[in-house]
Structure formats: C-alpha cells, structure tokens
Structure 1
Amino acid sequence: MQNLLLCFWPFFLFNNGLHERAYLPGCEIELSALTKDPCPGSDNGRIELEITGGQPPYYLNWTDPSLSGMLLEELGPGIYGVTVTDQKGCSANLTVFLFPVSPPQYQLILEPGLCFGVADGTVRFESEDPLEYRINNSAFDTATVFTGLLPGVYSFSIRDTFGCTYEVSAHLPTPAPLTLELPETLHLFLGDTGMILPTGDLERFVSYSWEPDLWLSCSDCPTPLTFAEEELTYRLTATDERDCTREAEVRVVVDAGPRLYLPNAFTPDGDGYNDHFRPYVGDEQTEILFFYVFHRWGGRVFSVLNTPAASFPGWDGTLDGNPLEPGVFVYYLKVRFPDGKFEVFTGDVLLL
C-alpha cells in the first residue's frame, strides 16, 4: 500500500495590526495579509490577502460566509479567518485580528478674547502624537494654534497617522460688552463753557484721551470742560485695564449769538482755562477801540487801545504784574465792527 500524505495543517497567527503570515511545510502554501485596523466607531478596516506557493487556482473560504475574495474592505473590529485550498487539495489557514485604532491623546486649550467685538480669541492643541488639524473644513495642517477668532462655536478635525479623523467642537465665550457714548451735539454760545459728559461703563475704564486737545480743561479726564471758540468734533478714546478700547465722538457747535460776548467771571489760576477776561467776537475783523477795567473804588487797573479783537489775549487779573484780590470789577469797552458800526459795552466781571 502506498502511503498517502494529506497536506492540511490548521495554522493560526495573531495579528499585529500590520501583517499576517501563515506557512505550511510540505504543501508549500504561504499565506500573508496586509491589514489596516478600523478607526474608532468606523467600519473602514482592510485585509488584503497574499498567497504564494501551492498550485493555482486557489479556493478561499472565509469563516464569515458574506466575505469573499482576496481584498476585504469596510471591515469593523473582529476576528477574520480564511482557509485557502489549491488545485492539489493542499490547504492553509490564516486568522486575522482587527482592533480599533486607539484615539490620540491631546489637550484642547481655549483662550477667549479679551475685548468685546474684537477677533482676538485663540484655540490651541497640545499633543505628543504627530497629528494634523483643521478648522471649519479647511485643509489639514500641522499647525496647532488658531488665532484671531471671534467669539462663537468652531468645528475642528484631528487626523492621526492612521488616517483616522476625530471631530472636536470648541466654544469661545463672548466677553462682557464695553460701552461708551457721548451726546451727538453740544451747543455753546461763544465765550460760554460747557461740560462734556460721557456715559456707559465708565467705572471699567482706566484712561481717557481726547482729540484734538483744543479749548479743553483737560485731555485725559472723563468729563472735561470745553470753551470752544469755533465748531469742531472731539473724539474720546477710553481704555480699560485689559487694554480694550472704545471710542465716541461729540460735535461742538458754537453759536456766536450777539456780535460780541463778555463772560461774567474768570479764574486766572494758570490752568489754561478761562485765565483771561476778554471779549469774544463773531467776526475776527472786529477792532477794540478801548477797553478799560476799574476796581470798585473807580481806579483803573487795566486798559488797552486800538487792538484787533481776534488777537487780544485779555486781562489776566493783575495790576503792574501783581495778582489782584478776588472781587467785582467794572469794565468799559468800545468796539468797531467790520461793517463800520460802533458799539459800547459796560458791565461788571467777577475775578475768582
């Protein structure tokens, strides 16, 4: 009797996620498989079977009857077995294990913007894995920091070296609003003084800046006095402790009113505001023919003759260079207007 050699050895090999191999001595059928583990929550695993040796054609019998062929795709995690038989009846077995890819480890860091309405938010990723990122379906990139973001919800995608993608949502909160308002218009009569009063979150501001710095009692305070001599627009820039700024504007309209105006008080204290007693005129061509100031006993303390009103600095409250005591003084003024008409003004003024 002739000995009969049956070439069939069951052989199982555990998967390492990359390559499977089975070899049966005698039959010389060698099985191997290139594998791709599926991404978490996905059925995108892959097994590509390779056969060497034996006598083609080969007959494949997968343990899952719904599977066939040398290439299996759209596979989930699991155990996949196949028996390959050649034309001579020699068989070899291969078992493949597909495991889900482990999700990458990363840290999502949110840096909300500091200023309301300003795109200064940041989203940052930190990971020791070689990952790629993208925001709102843009192209993937290795950049890990996304800057210049407005408050809102952003969608990020992370891709690992296995080609698996992971969706991440990040919410940048909205900073508290910062408000600053000024009246649209401030009306003044020529020679009058008005206070500019801003409103809003004034308690949150730490510095102020007014521009232009003209006819103001201060340019770095919240509520300056203005003694504007002509129409102009002031812009206020206020800054809080986080260096956030708000701006507002007010238009100052100066009404010349009468052809000439004289204030009823002045304060020659050197602060640059209302330091001189002088007539304010609506037309720069007006000429002062004479201007006298007397104390209450009738003594003259100041006089000027034939002077253009526009360039006249006014009386500084002194006599022979010496400051006078506060009190009431009487003035007597005669001017000639550009139309040739003369007019006399008299009254009293309070030196403070």
Structure 2
Amino acid sequence: FPDGEGGVGFRDGQAQAGSNYKEYVGACLLESMEPGVSYRLDFFVGFRDNVPGSKSFNIALFASTNCANLPFGGNNFQIGCPLNDVGYIQLGETFVSGSNEWVNVVFEFTASQAYEVIVLGPSCNTNPNYYLDPYFYVDRLTLAKSADFQIPFESITGSICDNDLVLQVPADASNTYQWYQDGIAMIGQNNPFLQLTSIDNTEGVYAVMITTPEGCYISENYNLLIPPYYESTSASICENDYIMIGTDTLSTSGFHEIWLEAEDGCDSVLQITLEVLENTYASIQDTFCLGDDYSFHDIFTYEAGTFETTLVNANGCDSLITLHLTGVGTGLGMELPETQFIDLGQSITLEPLFYDPVFTQFLWTNSTGSVLSESPVVSLIQPANSEWLFLNVSNNAECNQLDSVEVKVIPDYSVYIPNVFSPDGNGIHDEFTCFITGAVAEISVFSVYDRWGNLVFQDNNISNPLNYKGWTGNVEGEQAIQGVYVYMIRIKFLNGVEKVFAGDVTLLR
C-alpha cells in the first residue's frame, strides 16, 4: 500500500464459522528467503475506536516453502489458522492492543528454510472475544533482510525554523518512494526527498520506504522536535553559587529571561524564577578533658582552640560552624599500679599512683559491677580469689577516665601442728592445737584418738580458728595418761578448699 490510500482488514472469529473463523493476509514472495539469514517484517496494526472486542489480540506470522500452498484452507471456514493445513510453520507471535490508532509491530526471525510464502493474521488460539466479531487492519507491510533496514539519509539540510528542512535519500528512476510520519503513509509524498515546514502536526518520526526492482527497504528514522518558543521554570541555588544557562550566569534572586538557540536553529525563550537560599552561621562553645581526644564532624583534636567546619542545613546549603573548644584539667590523667600479689588471707589497700586534681568523683567496682568504694582508696579484706578492680574518675562534667588493676591471691595452705605437748599447767605447751594463718576460714573437725582408736576428744565447726586452744589433755574430766595419740584435723580455707591433716602427737607428764 505504497500511497497510503488503503489497508487490509481481517477478522479473528465469528462471522461464518464461530471461533474458528479467521482471516489472513498472504503473499508469494518475489524471491525465496535464504536459509540462515535474518529477516524482519515491519508493519502497522490498526484499531478502531470504541468497538467492543476489537481492542487487542494475538497476531502471528506463518511461512511455507511452496507457493502452491497459498491460499490455504480450500474454502473450509472451519480450518482456523495455517498450522491446521499442510506445509506451514509459525515464525512468531505477539500480543498487540490499541484504540483508534496504528501500532507498529516487528517480527525478527532467521529463515531455517527457503520460504516462498508468508501469511500474517490472528494466532491459532481462540480469541476470547470471538463472538463480538473482532476486526483489525494492517498497513505498510515491509519484509526484507534485517541488514536492509535503517538505510541512512543521503543528506539532511536546512532548518525547520526557516521552513526549509529537507530529508533526502539517493534518487533512482527505477525506484518508487513512500514517506511515512509516525508510521502513517503521507499521501502524495512519493519523491526521494521530503521538505518540512513549521506548521501544525509537523513534529514526529519520519522515514521513507524505497521499493526497488530487488525489493523494499526502509530508511533510518528522523525524529523531528520543534522546541517550544517559551518555557517557564523555577530553580533555587545556595548563597555564593550560580547556574550557567548558555552563556548567561545567574546568581541573584528574581525573574530572568534567557534567549537560546536550539540545534535546529529555532529560537527559544527560557523564563526562570531563581531563588537564592542563604547560608547559615553558628557559633558553638564546648569543653573537653585535656589528655583526651575530641571530635565533632570532621574536627579531630587533642588541644583546645577555635575551629571551623561546614555542615548542610535544612535547605541543602552550607551551615558554617565556628567551634570554641576549652580544655579542662591539666592533662595529667590517672593511673593505677601494676598487678598486686597477696597471700590468701591477707588484705590489701589500693589507690592511684597519681591523678589529675580536676577529678572529684571516684568509683571503685569489681568485675561484677559491685561498688567497693567512692573514694580514691579501696580496701580488700582477705579476698578469697584473684579479681580485677576498676576505678572510674570524673569531675561530673567533661573529664572521666577508667583504669584497672588485678589483685592476684596466692593460695597458702600451710598449717603447723606440733608433735608433742605437756599439759602440766606451767603455761608452756599446755594444749595440743594447730597453728594457722588468716587463710583459714574454719576448723571443721578437730579430733584425737588413743592408740586403740578410741575417740578421746573432738570439736566441730570452729568458726574462730585463730584463737582456738585445742585439746587440754583431759578425757571426761580426768587427765589422760602419758603416751602417743593420733589426731585428724579437717580445715576449710577462705577460697573454699578443704584439707585433712593427720598424724600423731605425744602427751608428756
């Protein structure tokens, strides 16, 4: 349909045979397709306006290797699509929809055989709206090798704004030409050139179909846009910034009008309302503890002084900050002694080796968080196990520091038990007892037996072991006879360890 004066209509159901009644456009090609070569079928589908059932469908492309297979169906209205006859295959299928418009559709495929026939129309599936007599159109069908599409223009001269824009393709008397705008054939435009002027509806996509003795070809597209004569907009910038439009520099608030020239030579006026947003300024006072590090945004320092930095305010502009930083203290800090060692049963008092006079608050804690002291000094009374102590010092404001020290408790399970005593009342070795250190928490059992294994003395759960006197040498109120006795003493230490001491002792009179 090279002159744009015609189109082909077809049905996708109903009419004479219900859902199977389908109509197609078919042609025997001027020459067979070459196997292994890529081809393109470019065409437009037309849709009517406000026609129920005729706004969408699936369109398919079929092919055959024998022109004798065209037409297909043998006047059998029930045959449906070409695949229901012999000698056809389907090359492609796609869904397309529209309303009162032409829609461009493209099938790209590689020929696997030397096809001589193509058929275009509804897919083999039943159209769900078949009972509404769906009806569609096709126009500007072009089948060619993919490489033959997008032929470049020979020249593009002039300007649409000067009404002398000319699109030109190579001229050949043996060829025919048909120009298209937005896929619609332009009636009467059958020359190898097209002149465009700045009239209504000139904007669009232009191309020409060239029909040669060898076949049909499509030129490249030319997208014509006429710039608006006036365009209004608004913008905002920050203080001390500017925007460039063409050769104009804008940096002040207000209304600006700028004349521009588009690529195709048309004049355009840009009207812009510009707002200049002010930067903000702030001064901050802050203090920190000398000897510590201080950070704010991109400021990192160990010293007092005045610093400047830039943030972003709510308008997205600069917020210039001046920081006045004051140091507190002398920078001396605080330090605890190294690890402290004590024997089990001993007590210890700790205090810092030195601390800055700025520190007025002290908090000693252990590893469980229990508070031990709120003064510079802390005392541990006979700790049973090793533990870490922590001292946090502060001035209730900017300065605070934390240090720690480990107190290691060395277990000492030594007990002295004499092997002779003489309960004669002279005040020397009158009792049999054990001599212990502060590491002992309790004497659980203190028992003495005679040589025949009879229990002659026993005490239990002695909770004040350092002052324990022991056995006075009496049995049931009578003096025990001189001789050798056996003892068994069970001792529990502060750290929970229990030990049993056994041996013999001689009683002398």
Asked whether the two chains share a fold, i.e. TM above 0.5, the reply is no
Greater Rg by CA: 2
Q: TM-score range by the shorter chain?
A: 0.3 to 0.5
TM-score of the pair, normalised by structure 1: 0.39
Please, what TM-score do these two structures have when normalized by structure 2?
Answer: 0.29
